[in-house]
Structures are given as structure tokens and as C-alpha cells.
């Protein structure tokens, strides 16, 4: 995926999640993050979901599981830097 495409998709993720938060649609966000296909989704996008959902993590029942799934994926793909990639996102 090219950087320009990635940036555009991340912008849409941030805007969409923020809109759901403004409307207090936390269940909808939980459904979105529950269904992220970890093997098929770019790591940068998965991290984008973690970043976007961080402000409301206490209201999202599925976010902790997304974090655990992401941690497992990153440990496998980036054994030397997974901690840095997840820093501040728990």
C-alpha cells in the first residue's frame, strides 16, 4: 500500500471513529474493531484503529481484545520492535 493511500484510509478511520464517539455509538465501534481481519489488514491500519479508539477505551468492550490480538501479531511480525509500536496504546 502506498503512503498516500495509507494516509487517506487512516484519515477516514480517525474521522469515522470520531463521529461514532460524538454520537456516543460505542457499540458500533465495538462491532467494527471486533471484525478486523488481522491477517488481511495492514498493520498500520490496525494500529490506526488502536490510536483512534484510545480516547474511549474504557467504553469499548472489544478494544482490549483488539489490543491483545495486535500484540500477538506484532510479536510475530516485528519481534524486535513490537513494544515500541504499542507504546502508549494499551
Return the pLDDT at 21.
98
Cβ atoms of 68 and 61 closer than 8 Å: no
Q: Which residue has the cell 484510545?
A: 54
Return the pLDDT at 33.
96
Per DSSP, helices labelled H in 1-90 are: 3-22, 26-34, 43-53, 63-77, 82-86
Instruction: Give the pLDDT of the chain (90 residues) as one tens digit per residue.
Output: 799 999 999 999 999 999 999 999 999 999 999 999 998 999 999 999 999 999 999 999 999 999 999 999 999 999 999 999 999 999
The residue count of the chain comes to 90
Return the pLDDT at 36.
95
Q: What pTM does this model have?
A: 0.93
Amino acid at each position: 500500500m502506498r503512503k498516500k493511500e495509507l494516509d487517506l484510509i487512516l484519515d477516514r478511520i480517525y474521522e469515522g471513529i470520531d463521529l461514532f464517539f460524538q454520537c456516543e455509538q460505542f457499540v458500533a465501534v465495538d462491532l467494527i474493531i471486533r471484525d478486523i481481519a488481522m491477517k488481511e489488514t495492514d498493520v498500520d491500519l490496525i494500529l490506526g484503529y488502536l490510536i483512534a479508539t484510545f480516547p474511549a477505551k474504557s467504553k469499548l468492550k472489544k478494544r482490549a481484545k483488539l489490543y491483545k490480538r495486535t500484540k500477538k501479531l506484532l510479536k510475530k511480525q516485528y519481534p524486535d520492535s513490537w513494544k515500541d509500536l504499542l507504546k502508549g496504546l494499551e
